[in-house]
Amino acid sequence: MKKRTLKNFLENALFFPLCFLLRRLPRKVALFLGSGFGRVAGHLLSAKRRIAMENMGKAFPELSETELRQRVDAMFVHIGKSATEMLRLDLFSEADMDEIFIPTGLENLREAYDRNRGVILLSGHVGFWEIGTFLLPKLGFPADFVGKKMKNPQVDKYITRMREAAGGRCIDSKSGARKIIRSLSENKGVAVLIDQHRRSSEAVSVPFFGRPAFTTPIIARLAMKYQIPVVPIFSYRTSDDRYDFQIHPMFFLKDEPESSVEENTALLTSLIEGAIRQDVTQWLWLHRRWRRSSSKGASF
């Protein structure tokens, strides 16, 4: 406990002055600094870099060592910019709606919300995924967001405030099933990222870039049981630091004997894989997505 308290203190001593600085700079200057932080992190975090190189190399064996290195370098720059943008999320104004954001497929969201069943907003750690917490409510689509709490309570409180600044609500992924159902019953969208490893006891194994990956089946189960429309959404950073916010057509998962939870979870995962392939530098390759486990099954 004392070790964690000390770590929190040291993190806060760095985190909050950095927030103060980045929030008072013009956006372009802040993002320039963020890209620099990302480059430095890419060199200092050698273990994370090795993981990213290994993961991307197995997903794209056709890439040379030089090509992998270039893409991983770009990924760290993207992470640095995204982290900077996250600290400033509540600073976006109405004027930014037309200047910075490029939403396409709004009719797909309207069609899904018009069903009055709630909407599952399917996404992953692709591009700047956090922008949905600001943009969706501003576009008139009430939405809540499922995520993990951070170990540092002060930092977690700050990040939660950023995520909820536009009117959405954060739902803790560890105990969020009932809150997800409640949000859906209120005809809200619920944004869920299903591209990170889950313990085998609460997951199903599905293909992801040609390798088995333990993935939460909760979203597939909810969509099947309650026939909730699913809308894939991905937000890519453009070369001029705007956001290409892509909203794909809605669909339903079949709840039939021949349609299993595993098959539907694999379908959802394949959509995220396709989104990653659109720009491989904008996904968190440093995450240990493919982990071995001897136990099987999932519970919900």
Report the alpha-carbon distance of residue 73 to residue 64 in Å, rounded: 14
Count CA atoms within 13 Å of residue 100 on its CB side: 18
- Looking at residue 6, what is its pLDDT? 86
Phi and psi, residue 39, nearest 5°: -60, -45
Q: Give the mean pLDDT of the chain.
A: 93
Task: Please give the share of the chain, as a percent, with pLDDT higher than 90.
Answer: 85
The answer to the question of residue 295 being in a domain is: no
Per-residue pLDDT tens over the stretch 96-142: 888 999 999 999 999 999 999 999 999 999 999 999 999 999 999 99
**CB distance 254 to 224 below 8 Å:** yes
Report the alpha-carbon distance of residue 79 to residue 280 in Å, rounded: 13
Report the alpha-carbon distance of residue 217 to residue 202 in Å, rounded: 8
The answer to the question of residue 201 being in a domain is: yes
Angle at 252 between CA 246 and CA 255, to 5 degrees: 150
Reference 189, options 242, 237, 139, 225; nearest CA is 139
- Looking at residue 257, what is its pLDDT? 66
50 contacts: CB under 8 Å, gap ≥ 6: none
pLDDT(25) > 50: yes
Report the alpha-carbon distance of residue 227 to residue 138 in Å, rounded: 26
pLDDT(1) > 90: no
The answer to the question of residue 277 being in a domain is: yes
Q: How many domains does the chain have?
A: 1
The answer to the question of residue 58 being in a domain is: yes
Residue 52 token pair: 């990213």
Per-residue pLDDT tens over the stretch 240-283: 999 999 999 999 998 876 569 999 999 999 999 999 999 999 99
Report the alpha-carbon distance of residue 117 to residue 253 in Å, rounded: 14
Choose between 292 and 250: higher pLDDT: 250
Query: Confidence class of residue 298 from pLDDT cuts 50, 70 and 90?
Result: very low
pLDDT, average across residues 187-213 = 94
Report the alpha-carbon distance of residue 259 to residue 263 in Å, rounded: 7
227 contacts: CB under 8 Å, gap ≥ 6: 117, 252, 255
Count CA atoms within 13 Å of residue 3 on its CB side: 0
Task: Reduce the DSSP state of residue 121 to 3 states and report it.
Answer: strand
The answer to the question of residue 287 being in a domain is: no
Per-residue pLDDT tens over the stretch 51-73: 999 999 999 999 999 999 999 99
The answer to the question of residue 296 being in a domain is: no
- Looking at residue 209, what is its pLDDT? 97
Report the alpha-carbon distance of residue 149 to residue 297 in Å, rounded: 25
**CB distance 179 to 171 below 8 Å:** yes
pLDDT(205) > 70: yes
pLDDT(294) > 70: no
Per-residue pLDDT tens over the stretch 170-196: 999 877 788 999 999 999 999 999 999
Report the alpha-carbon distance of residue 127 to residue 145 in Å, rounded: 16
- Looking at residue 259, what is its pLDDT? 66
Domain around 37: 2-282
Report the alpha-carbon distance of residue 254 to residue 223 in Å, rounded: 9
The answer to the question of residue 7 being in a domain is: yes
Task: Please give the share of the chain, as a percent, with pLDDT higher than 70.
Answer: 95
Predicted model pTM: 0.92
**CB distance 58 to 134 below 8 Å:** no
Residue entry with tokens 């313990």: 199
The answer to the question of residue 289 being in a domain is: no
